[in-house]
Amino acid sequence: MEKPQNIYDNPVFFEDYQTMRESKINANELIEIPQIKKMLPNIKGKTILDLGCGAGGMSRFFAENGAKKVVGIDISSNMLKIAKERTLQKNISYLNLPMEDISSLNSKFEFVFSSLAFHYVENFDKLISDISKLLKPNGVLLFSQEHPVGTAMIFNSPNMENHIEINGKRYYLLSDYNNNSQRKLHWSVDDVVKYHRNFSTIINSLINNGLEILQIEESTASEEAIKLVPKYKYQNDRPYFLFVKAIKKSN
């Protein structure tokens, strides 16, 4: 198994990423965050683990909305520096830790959350097993990740199109869907590493590690988001994100 890539500490990538996120006109702010917030369980009084917490936006949201304790972990020291600078709440702590090493945590949690981070992890089954062990009985896992129809395609060049146009209608390309493996792509810099997994792998890993699926959603864009970014209308043809909510069985 390869050492996890810490792309967010690459200075070129980090600068571009921060510029994109700070603009607020991006898929994270307009599509992913509003949709995943609608799926949240009751967080009041709960102990929460935020996996891949980045700049700590959701960790702060949890603390501001009644969480008892929040632990945010991230592999990127750059992201955690921003998170600590922006965090005033005393019930949030941050750890510089890759998701691959969460078995080293000694705490148990009532809610584990992750926003757009699981597709960076090579061994998904181990990750879900580790999460299941960290969850208290009836604890909830909620995560988003890049949608499998998006991660599937293997791009042979940075300029390769992921769709074709026929009679004014956009059709997205799909290939290598059942080839669960590493993908490298150009995203501000070359060779950004992600991992593709098909739906059955994702769902069966949850089931096999004692988690019961409560809800699955695929991303859509609001009319307001489409007005700001017209291409988001194509969420109807190929969603960017997958959302999964599951609970640890009490037995």
SS3 of residue 207 by DSSP: helix
- Model pLDDT, residue 235: 92
- Model pLDDT, residue 160: 76
Each residue's pLDDT, cut to its tens digit, for the chain (251 residues) gives: 677 877 777 777 777 778 877 778 999 999 999 999 999 999 999 999 999 999 999 999 999 999 999 999 999 999 899 999 999 999 999 999 999 999 999 999 999 999 999 999 999 999 999 999 999 999 999 999 999 999 998 876 667 788 899 998 889 988 899 999 999 887 676 778 899 999 999 999 999 999 999 999 999 999 999 999 999 999 999 999 999 999 998 86
- Model pLDDT, residue 136: 97
- Model pLDDT, residue 138: 97
Distance CA 171, CA 169 (A): 7
Closest CA to 33 of 59, 50, 58, 69: 58
Distance CA 114, CA 127 (A): 12
Say if residue 144 is exposed, middle or buried (CB neighbours under 10 Å; 0-12, 13-18, 19+). buried
- Model pLDDT, residue 159: 72
- DSSP lists the bridge partners of residue 50 as 72, 113
Q: Where are any strands of DSSP class E within 97-225?
A: 109-115, 135-146, 163-166, 169-172, 182-187, 189-195, 211-218
> CB of 107 within 8 A of CB of 82?
no
Distance CA 129, CA 40 (A): 21
Taking the domains of the chain in order of start, what are their residue ranges?
7-147+196-248
CATH code for the part of the protein at 7-147+196-248: 3.40.50.150
Closest CA to 142 of 211, 230, 82: 211
